[in-house]
Structure 1
Amino acid sequence: MAAPAAEGAAAAALLAVLARAGRAAERSGRVAEAVRVVAVGKTKPVSMLRQLYDAGHRCFGENYVQELVTKAPQLPEDIRWHFIGHLQSNKVKPLLAAVPNLDMVEGVNNEKIANHLDRAVNSLGREPLKVLVQVNTSGEESKSGVDPSRCVELAKHVKLACPHLIFSGLMTIGMKDYSSTPENFKALVDCKLEVCNALQIPTEQFELSMGMSGDFEQAIEMGSTNVRIGSTIFGPREYPNKKQ
């Protein structure tokens, strides 16, 4: 699949992604608005994100704390930021303090990080923060995320023991090469049904974040409400140096 090579292509690429996501939502029996597209700008300059903002997009994501706390103050406050992936405990309060418009953390992978987030939200006087529990659907040791057998346990902790967090659903990263298979998606759907049943949550109020550039249409068809799209919008990622 061709990726946009120039900054001027990002807004057009976004529109194409939104159209594809909308059609996939309709194939799943939902309206296009039922699926959120998170534009993930990892390694990309603020100018490219601003181009999407100027085109009307408001939901952006980042994978590194330092990159998010650097970019967020340079962009309008009505952006809804998502932090995606593993979050270290010592980075929680700096992230929340620097990004008051952080809308969601994808995802919480253990009780310790949930507790850190809960305390930080409280101490900063923020509105409750939406979080997704991260599930390791591929079984890879290198992947963060709770084992599917423990998704109910962790979801219950977030919902019942963390009053300053809003348990919103589940997310998965997928395979090591950041692609997923129908089995990964089905595992997350199965976890959703277990959690909804255990915690008495209506399924239509439950988020599933699964699907990225290479597989987001299939993920939507299988029930994803939130897809994280980077390279298909912004072009290949560039790594001049390692970021934390």
Structure 2
Amino acid sequence: MSSETTSVTNGVAEALRRVQERITAAASGCGRPPPELVAVSKTKPVELLLEAYEAGQRSFGENYVQEIVAKSPQLPSDIKWHFIGGLQSNKAKVLAGVPNLYMVESVDRQKTATALNKAFAAVGRAEKLKVMVQVNTSGEESKSGCQPGETAQLAKFVDTECDNLELVGLMTIGAFDTSDEPEAFKILATERDAVAEVVERAASTLTLSMGMSADFEAAIRMGSDSVRVGSTIFGAREYPPK
């Protein structure tokens, strides 16, 4: 291990502890239980993930199929892997082959849901794969996600047509917003209400995954059940893998 990696590694556990303290404080301030923390480990070496694991972290998020496939065999089997990146339908089979894949948060169209449903059926697991519908709350072309107003239709498709998938909620990567109540989070909460109506479930049973390193405390105040924090724990993101 290089001296640079060693230096960063020694700080991961402490950075994780500080993030957990901030999550607890934000949740306590609005009378809510702390949300789940997904440590986003994209582009980071296995050594850094292991440091977070040894500090008690169990949920990790990856953006690239090739990374989650490469890292998962090198790390403990009780890790809950969340796939949070854009997913091409032709890679669904490869992703479904990760033994401890826990959730795909980035289902943004019926084609992706169908491919995942078929792929997960082929691996023959007893439990359904948990999925979230990703919503593009900012309207930015650079961000994935279905458009607000289309969320309920996609969610209903997952819920009724994909026997091997379990719809658990909605996810967004909102535009950077320093306000106390970012618009992206308001939109996602509204979309959840629409989804709850069409799938005939209480809105409170649908998880909201929103908030990252720059805005996870605001997300918690606005009702997020899961926050995805990467650079604040592991350091600045490196270049995408080839």
Alignment of 1:167-178 (within 5 A): 167-175=167-175
State percent identity of aligned pairs. Answer: 54
Matched, 1:243 2:225: no
Matched, 1:113 2:115: no
- The residue number in structure 1 matching 2:226 is 226
Bigger relative contact order, structure 1 or 2, given CA contacts below 8 A and separation 6+? 1
> Helix, strand or coil: the match of 1:6?
helix
Task: Verify the 8 A CA contact 1:28 1:223 in the aligned structure 2.
Answer: no
Residue range with higher mean Cα deviation, 180-189 or 163-172? 180-189
Task: Kindly state the Cα deviation for residue 180 of structure 1 after the two structures are TM-superposed.
Answer: 4.2
Provide the TM-score with structure 1 as the length reference: 0.92
**2: distance between equivalents of 1:60 and 1:207?**
17
**1:38-64 alpha-carbon deviations (Å, 9 max, x no partner):** 001111110110011111110001101
- The residue number in structure 2 matching 1:87 is 87
Amino acid at match of 1:107: S
Task: Kindly state the Cα deviation for residue 107 of structure 1 after the two structures are TM-superposed.
Answer: 1.2
Task: Kindly state the Cα deviation for residue 6 of structure 1 after the two structures are TM-superposed.
Answer: 1.7
Amino acid at match of 2:49: L
**2: distance between equivalents of 1:89 and 1:118?**
11
Task: Kindly state the Cα deviation for residue 203 of structure 1 after the two structures are TM-superposed.
Answer: 2.4
> Helix, strand or coil: the match of 1:167?
strand
**2: distance between equivalents of 1:180 and 1:112?**
31
Moved >4 Å (runs of 4+): none
Provide the TM-score with structure 2 as the length reference: 0.93
**2: distance between equivalents of 1:40 and 1:180?**
20
Question: How many residue pairs align between the two structures?
Answer: 232
Amino acid at match of 2:213: S
Amino acid at match of 1:9: G
Task: Verify the 8 A CA contact 1:28 1:222 in the aligned structure 2.
Answer: no
- For the aligned residue pairs, the C-alpha RMSD in angstroms reads 1.2
Alignment of 1:145-184 (within 5 A): 145-175=145-175, 179-180=176-177, 182-184=182-184
Amino acid at match of 1:18: Q
> Helix, strand or coil: the match of 2:49?
helix
**2: distance between equivalents of 1:85 and 1:43?**
12
